[in-house]
Amino acid sequence: MGLLETIKSPADLKALPATSMAPLAEEIRTFLVESVSRTGGHLGPNLGVVELTIALHRVFDSPRDTIVFDTGHQSYVHKLLTGRHDFSKLKKQGGLSGYPSRAESPHDVVENSHASTALSWADGIAKARRIKGERGRHTVAVIGDGALTGGMAWEAINNIAADKDLPLTIIVNDNERSYAPTIGGLAEHLATLRTTRGYERFLDWGKNTLHRTPVVGGAMYETLHGMKKGIKDIVAPQGMFEDLGLKYLGPVDGHDEAALESALRKARAFGGPVLVHVITQKGRGYQPAVNDDADQFHSVGKINPETGLPFEVSGRIWTDEFNDEMVALGAERPDLVALTAAMLIPVGLDGFAAAYPDRVFDVGIAEQHAVTMASGLAFAGLHPVVAVYATFLNRAFDQLLMDAALHHAGITFVLDRAGVTGSDGASHNGMWDMAIASIVPGLRLAAPRDGQQVRLQLREAVEVTDAPTVLRFPKGDVGAPVPALRQQGTLDVLHETSREGCDLLVVGVGAFAALSVDVAGKLEAQGLRVTAVDPRWVLPVSDDLVELARSAGAVAVVEDNLVTSGVGAAVTIALREAGVDVPVHLHGIPKAFLDHASRGQILDELGLTADAVATSLATHLH
């Protein structure tokens, strides 16, 4: 039996001798490579935190002591050390979540995968424990250096540092990367810390000199003590943290388990907030990951564990269409600039960055800053394209509303991974963006149905100079083009039984346009006259759609968004305001957090398939 198999809880880990830690770390890395290569998942980040997570669970007493991970994709080792060894269905329906999950274990606390939140969670937990008199319980926040680029983390540090006796340990897992290399002033500061000798060692040198040459040495040592603050700022600029009021320990080798335990025990015993700066290597122990300069196997699909190469080569994805068209637009428009929040490659801006490096801004995990910065760029005469995952637009809603829309800023937001994404769980589903956008005055939102429309509608979006525009598309392969039979005003008619009115008008939103054509065909086979349309620009609801609905017996809207506040709700209101009195049937995502599963499984459960939608509509129409 291997060491890992004997560990069912952190108590089992603590019972092992220190000499077992190196072989255990090697065993865990082997397990991760073999398991994640079969299922897909976040491989690189977890290979980098093996020794750190071992040390955490040997020093602290989870779940009595609370460990909060930011972000949770670095929690696989934590799962293993708390007894969860079945990775066979990782991120799949009925299997382990790719992030901490309270439903899985009392050792898990924060479930969402949005970054820069752990310090606020930890601050609240630690203060609550103190109010309740639970002074023997400790709180630990593990935050990556990339997540420290988020403003919320610094809001938390500001409050934590003011509380001198709060038993809270902050571990900065510094691997110089978030998804790709971390950028910005903080990254430069941490780089300096990594490469600068600590001032304590400088003072130790002074002590040694004192013993060897008492007169000169003594004077030198007194001088050194008098200059302590100045020397500290010169040779060990951890002063940024200590000046805020945080005790600083480090940098510590994140792959020296004994050194990590020593540092963490000092932090635990200190009695106040301590920041432990840990240097790790993303992808540690797996050469294909270490050799990958792009993202060091941040997240992988099924791969050959020997080579790191994917078993399945995916087809063309939605993001590829955006990537290529941005490069083409960049050549035509010198005023076009692009922004993203630590996701340059995943959102498809790497092509634009390669072609026009001076016109792309990766602001780190700082969506709020990205949107307001874009408003400034727009005011100064440029057209910014802000590309983020749809779920991360939630984090910058106030800036979208008050900085962009209120000021009539011509900014294009491109939202990747819109709608149901599936395997990454509730926090990654992009199911709120159209609900958010629908209440922003002046905003226009396009939902392309295929790759050709991504390109066309991106071009249309960047022509708008007096209001924000949004372009959203889902995760995965883009599929074949969905041709239009004809245009009716701004609408593309995709299916039509007759031009003389219809029993049902089906409005397919974005990637659901193809589904709407299938639904129309199934209902037409039952004797109904059906028209299916793609509005292209789905918000605000167009007058052309309202007028077409006047000649319909009923309207159905099918969308990959919250059914209660998305396009269907907007269509319903628009028809009522125009005096069009027809029933409107809404098909979308219920107001609920969705468990991880494949996109297809989730859509099937929600009844968002052609068969399910057609059956539901037939029941109402016959």
Q: Write the Ramachandran bin of 116: left for phi over 0, alpha for psi from -120 to 50, otherwise beta.
A: left
Task: Dump pLDDT digits (tens) for 308-332.
Answer: 677 665 679 999 999 999 999 999 9
Q: How many CA atoms lie within 13 A of 212 on its CB side?
A: 7
Torsion angle, CA of 47/53/58/63, rounded to 10 degrees? -140
Distance CA 168, CA 160 (A): 8
pLDDT at 229: 43
Check pLDDT > 70 for residue 197: no
pLDDT at 239: 59
Distance CA 355, CA 344 (A): 13
Question: What type of residue sits at position 515?
Answer: L
pLDDT at 266: 95
Check pLDDT > 80 for residue 79: yes
The predicted model gives 419-429 an average pLDDT of 84
78 in helix, strand or coil?
helix
> What domains appear along the chain, each with residue ranges and CATH number?
4-196+237-291 (3.40.50.970), 197-235 (no CATH), 318-472 (3.40.50.970), 488-621 (3.40.50.920)
How far is residue 339 from each of residues 363, 372, 379, 392, measured CA to CA in Å? 7, 11, 15, 14
pLDDT at 186: 55
Between residues 193 and 213, the one the model is more confident about:
193
Check pLDDT > 90 for residue 144: no
Task: Dump pLDDT digits (tens) for 355-382.
Answer: 999 999 999 888 999 999 999 999 999 9
- pLDDT bin (cut points 50, 70, 90) of residue 531 is very high
- pLDDT bin (cut points 50, 70, 90) of residue 230 is very low
Distance CA 478, CA 321 (A): 9
pLDDT at 231: 39
Q: Does the annotation place 367 within a ligand binding site?
A: yes
Q: What's 593's DSSP letter? A: P
Check pLDDT > 80 for residue 593: yes
- The residues that are catalytic are 282, 367, 395
pLDDT at 45: 86
- pLDDT bin (cut points 50, 70, 90) of residue 37 is confident
Between residues 345 and 71, the one the model is more confident about:
345
Distance CA 70, CA 113 (A): 8
Specify the pairing of strand 168-174 against strand 247-253.
Answer: unpaired
CB 521 within 8 A of CB 495: yes
Beta-carbon contacts of residue 580 (< 8 Å; ≥ 6 apart): 546, 549, 550
Check pLDDT > 60 for residue 10: yes
Q: Write the Ramachandran bin of 97: left for phi over 0, alpha for psi from -120 to 50, otherwise beta.
A: beta
Q: Does the annotation place 146 within a ligand binding site?
A: yes
First to last CA, the chain: 64
Check pLDDT > 50 for residue 203: no
Q: Does the annotation place 383 within a ligand binding site?
A: no
State the chain's mean pLDDT as an integer.
87
Asked if residue 196 has a cis previous peptide bond (ω within 30° of 0), the answer is no
- pLDDT bin (cut points 50, 70, 90) of residue 285 is confident
Beta-carbon contacts of residue 562 (< 8 Å; ≥ 6 apart): 431, 432, 434, 435, 588, 589, 590, 591
Q: Does the annotation place 407 within a ligand binding site?
A: no
pLDDT at 204: 47
pLDDT at 282: 84
> Taking Cα atoms as reference points, which of 504, 509, 479, 474 lies closest to residue 491?
509
In the numeric block, which tokens belong to residue 326? 């941005």
In the numeric block, which tokens belong to residue 553? 């017996």
Between residues 155 and 329, the one the model is more confident about:
329
CB atoms within 10 A of CB 461: 23
Report the share of the chain in percent with pLDDT over 90: 64
360 in helix, strand or coil?
strand
- pLDDT bin (cut points 50, 70, 90) of residue 537 is very high
Beta-carbon contacts of residue 408 (< 8 Å; ≥ 6 apart): 442, 466, 467
Distance CA 77, CA 501 (A): 60
pLDDT at 445: 98
Distance CA 583, CA 599 (A): 29
Question: What type of residue sits at position 472?
Answer: R
Between residues 135 and 85, the one the model is more confident about:
85
pLDDT at 313: 59
DSSP secondary structure of 573-586: HHHHHTT----EEE
pLDDT at 612: 95
Lowest mean pLDDT among 292-306, 328-342, 415-429: 292-306
Lowest mean pLDDT among 103-117, 234-248, 485-499: 234-248
Query: Which residue spans within 130-241 are E strands per DSSP?
Result: 139-144, 168-174
Beta-carbon contacts of residue 47 (< 8 Å; ≥ 6 apart): 29, 32, 33, 282, 283, 284, 285, 286, 289, 297
**Highest mean predicted confidence (pLDDT) among 146-150, 180-184, 306-310, 548-552:** 548-552
Q: Does the annotation place 286 within a ligand binding site?
A: yes
Q: Does the annotation place 304 within a ligand binding site?
A: no
Q: Which residue has the tokens 């790191």?
A: 308
Distance CA 177, CA 146 (A): 6
Distance CA 242, CA 433 (A): 40
- pLDDT bin (cut points 50, 70, 90) of residue 73 is confident
> Taking Cα atoms as reference points, which of 272, 255, 251, 271 lies closest to residue 263?
251
How far is residue 360 from each of residues 328, 341, 380, measured CA to CA in Å? 15, 11, 16
pLDDT at 209: 42
pLDDT at 72: 81
pLDDT at 217: 40
| Contacts by 230-236, CB closer than 8 A, 24 or more apart | 231/199, 231/202, 231/203, 232/199, 235/196, 235/197, 235/198, 235/199, 235/202, 236/193, 236/196, 236/197, 236/198, 236/199, 236/200
Distance CA 541, CA 447 (A): 12
10 Å CB burial of residue 188 (0-12, 13-18, 19+) is exposed
Rounded to the nearest 5°, which phi and psi values hold at 136?
A: -85, 0
> Taking Cα atoms as reference points, which of 342, 75, 329 lies closest to residue 182?
342
Q: Does the annotation place 73 within a ligand binding site?
A: yes
Q: Does the annotation place 147 within a ligand binding site?
A: yes
pLDDT at 497: 94
CB atoms within 10 A of CB 566: 27
Check pLDDT > 90 for residue 557: yes
Check pLDDT > 70 for residue 505: yes
pLDDT at 290: 77
- pLDDT bin (cut points 50, 70, 90) of residue 281 is confident
Report the share of the chain in percent with pLDDT over 70: 86
Check pLDDT > 60 for residue 29: yes
Check pLDDT > 90 for residue 138: yes
